[in-house]
């Protein structure tokens, strides 16, 4: 049977670590726990399951800590776990079956990641496949009968194992600062990090977080090597930045550029927010309607979901109030109020897609 090293990096996880490790006891042949500076009883909890507990000085680099943990593993496969993840009994049994049947040519196993948090996460769906199990020592194989070459692409298997991500607290502030400092340090800023930074901003960013990120995404617009998708992500972020700083020249410039290509929901929302702040509720409602029904989101899926519907409802309530102040009939006012209630109900029942 294949053996599995469970590798974890932890810091101040005393309240949740036991449940995570206890849910993996049936699967793990060894636990490797790397502590990056706990000041609570995290290591004492980990000691219930393993004596392979290592200290690692935090250097603002999760990859460095993961690589250190992997270097301590000795089993056939490495399972990477976070302290806020749990496997229920059904999925423990699925994992055990996988452990028994895993073919030697498989390099990576992906598992279904169930995001249990409703807000402040960098995800646009409730479920997504993630690589979680890795072959520790990979065997390279020659392929092709002529002009032979070594097979470089890993063999990946998508399993039916579901991991429950039971996140505690909001790490968005830490993550946004780490993303910003990574860029400022001059380290390579990959497509993945670029996308994650944009998503984190829309899901959890405060106005100052957007303004701090402005140089990052302005550089994206200026770089010839960045893809059209990355430039689109950057435009979404910069529209928010320019609106917040009242830089109207650049705000309308970047919005208009988006309109002449394939308009996205995020830009429509930003235009709606601009006109709402100008008390132009009719115009604001048009842009929120475009976001909700005419366009698709580029970065943050709620930009084409519940958010513009709620803002349209706000527009109609403001318009109803204006009519009331002007002495309009109850019927005229009621039409706007009814439309606002309808939109609010739509927003209430809208949910993140199960998967994308």
Q: Give the pLDDT confidence of 3-24 residue by residue, as tens digits.
A: 999 999 999 999 999 999 999 9
- On the question of pLDDT at 123 being above 80, the answer is no
CB 11 within 8 A of CB 55: no
Q: How confident is the model at residue 202 (pLDDT cuts 50, 70, 90)?
A: very high
Mean pLDDT lowest for which of 117-126, 286-295, 329-338? Answer: 117-126
Task: Please answer whether residues 325 and 306 qualify as being in contact, where contact means their C-beta atoms are separated by less than 8 angstroms.
Answer: no
Find, among 236, 229, 224, 245, the residue nearest to 198 by Cα: 236
Instruction: With cut-offs at 50, 70 and 90, classify the pLDDT of residue 119.
Output: very low
CATH ID of 172-349, from 1.25.40, 2.60.120, 1.10.357, 1.20.120? 1.25.40
**Domain residue ranges in the chain:** 4-165, 172-349
Segment 321-328 long-range contacts (CB within 8 Å, at least 24 positions apart):
322/281
pLDDT beyond 90 at 1:
no
Task: Give the pLDDT confidence of 333-356 residue by residue, as tens digits.
Answer: 999 999 999 999 999 998 777 655
Above pLDDT 70, what percent of the chain? 94
Span 82-94, pLDDT tens digits: 999 999 999 999 9
- Which class is domain 4-165? alpha beta
Lowest mean pLDDT among 186-190, 191-195, 237-241, 253-257: 186-190
Q: What is the mean pLDDT of the chain?
A: 90
CA 246 → CA 121, 238, 242, 252, 308, distances in Å? 28, 12, 6, 11, 21
Per cent of the chain over pLDDT 90 is: 73
């Amino acid at each position: 049977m294949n053996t599995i090293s469970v590798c974890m990096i932890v810091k101040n996880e005393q309240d949740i670590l036991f449940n995570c490790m206890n849910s993996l006891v049936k699967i793990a042949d060894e636990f490797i726990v790397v502590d990056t500076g706990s000041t609570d009883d995290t290591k004492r909890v980990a000691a219930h399951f393993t004596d392979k507990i290592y200290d690692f000085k935090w250097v603002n680099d999760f990859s460095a800590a993961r690589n250190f943990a992997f270097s301590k593993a000795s089993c056939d496969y490495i399972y990477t776990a976070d302290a806020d993840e749990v496997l229920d009994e059904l999925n423990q049994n699925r994992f055990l079956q996988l452990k028994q049947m895993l073919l030697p040519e498989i390099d990576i196993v992906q598992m279904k990641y169930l995001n249990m948090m409703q807000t402040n996460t960098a995800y646009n769906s409730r479920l997504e496949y993630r690589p979680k199990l890795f072959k520790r020592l990979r065997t390279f194989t020659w392929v092709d009968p002529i002009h032979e070459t070594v097979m470089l692409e890993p063999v990946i298997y998508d399993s039916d194992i579901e991991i429950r991500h039971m996140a505690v607290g909001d790490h968005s502030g830490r993550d946004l600062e780490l993303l910003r400092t990574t860029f400022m340090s001059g380290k390579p800023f990959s497509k993945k990090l670029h996308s994650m930074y944009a998503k984190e901003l829309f899901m959890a960013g405060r106005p100052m977080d957007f303004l701090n990120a402005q140089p990052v995404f302005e550089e994206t617009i200026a770089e010839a090597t960045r893809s059209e998708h990355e430039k689109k992500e950057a435009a979404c972020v910069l529209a928010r930045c320019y609106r917040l700083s009242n830089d109207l020249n650049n705000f309308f410039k970047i919005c208009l550029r988006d309109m002449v290509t394939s308009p996205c929901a995020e830009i429509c929302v930003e235009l709606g927010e601009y006109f709402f702040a100008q008390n132009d509720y009719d115009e604001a409602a048009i842009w929120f309607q475009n976001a909700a029904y005419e366009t698709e989101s580029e970065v943050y899926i709620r930009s084409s979901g519940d958010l513009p519907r709620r803002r349209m409802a706000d527009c109609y309530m403001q318009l109803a109030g204006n009519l009331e102040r002007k002495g309009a009939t109850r019927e005229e006012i009621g039409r706007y109020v009814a439309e606002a209630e309808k939109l609010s109900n739509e927003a209430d029942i809208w949910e993140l897609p199960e998967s994308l």
